[in-house]
Amino acid sequence: MDYIENFIILKKGKFREYDLWLKVFSPNKGLQTYFAFGGLKSKRRFCGCLDILNILCGKIENKKKGYYILQEASLIENFSLIKQDKKKIGVVVNSLNFLEKIKISQEEFKQVYLLLKDFLYSIEEAEDISFFPLLFKTCLIFNLGYLPHFDSCLKCKRTIMWEKETFFSFKDGGFFCMYCKKDNFIKVPIATLKTLKTIAFSTPKDWMKWNLDVNLKHTCYEIVNNFSQYHLQLAI
């Protein structure tokens, strides 16, 4: 069965003389491997566009379960500014490696694809990208069913947005007030909680306008990294 779909190339490799395998992410199938026979040769079918980070529209043949052949493709975006900048490439590779290790369910493919696409468009334009890996990984984790409860104490339900500090439980995925905290919760300044909440509901387009304080970045990193290790067994 053939179908048409947009996808982003994350990795590629050569096999035999002119053939390529492509690791891609698409909004309907998620992470897939496509085989492009003649991918290094056929300008007519692939217009020389089978490069890493390119967004393409392709015609795909599903030979049998899990075996996909890319029949032809046309270029939508090639992110030429990212490819000219070693620092930007480093940030993207780091973020994509994280993405590949996370288990993503079918109903989440589309939102992850849109996050990844917006992330690439924003990196292409942005000048300061030092916060982008943290922001991308945080958004990804929070989007995949691990969104902490931000506004009130998980136990007594009192509003915590006006407290000076709150207490986060990795196990419960939420914040507690000073009266309900337990010894193994970590203390989180309210500025960090508010920053995490802002990140959770942001898109990569917003990140270009931000200037995150370095201390805030550090405390956010600590929480998200520990949270990710607890639930996904994966450091960010």
Residues of the shown chain interacting with Zn ion in the complex, contacts defined by CB under 5 A:
153, 155-156, 177, 180
Which residue, among 206, 46, 43, has the nearest Cα to 115 in the 3D structure? 206
Quick check: 3 and 26 in contact, CB under 8 A? no
Rounded-to-integer distance, Cα 134 and Cα 91, Å: 10
Rounded-to-integer distance, Cα 169 and Cα 175, Å: 6
Least distance to Zn ion, CB of residue 34, Å: 51
Least distance to Zn ion, CB of residue 219, Å: 21
Which residue, among 33, 49, 52, has the nearest Cα to 92 in the 3D structure? 52
Least distance to Zn ion, CB of residue 113, Å: 38
- Which of 14/171 has CB closer to Zn ion? 171
Least distance to Zn ion, CB of residue 103, Å: 32
Among all chains, which residue has been given the structure tokens 């015609």? 59
- Which of 75/180 has CB closer to Zn ion? 180
Least distance to Zn ion, CB of residue 157, Å: 7
- Which of 155/231 has CB closer to Zn ion? 155
Strands, E assignment, the chain:
2-15, 19-26, 30-36, 55-64, 67-77, 165-169, 174-176, 186-189
Quick check: 143 and 150 in contact, CB under 8 A? no
- Which of 159/203 has CB closer to Zn ion? 159
- Which of 24/160 has CB closer to Zn ion? 160
Q: What is the identity of the amino acid at 149?
A: H
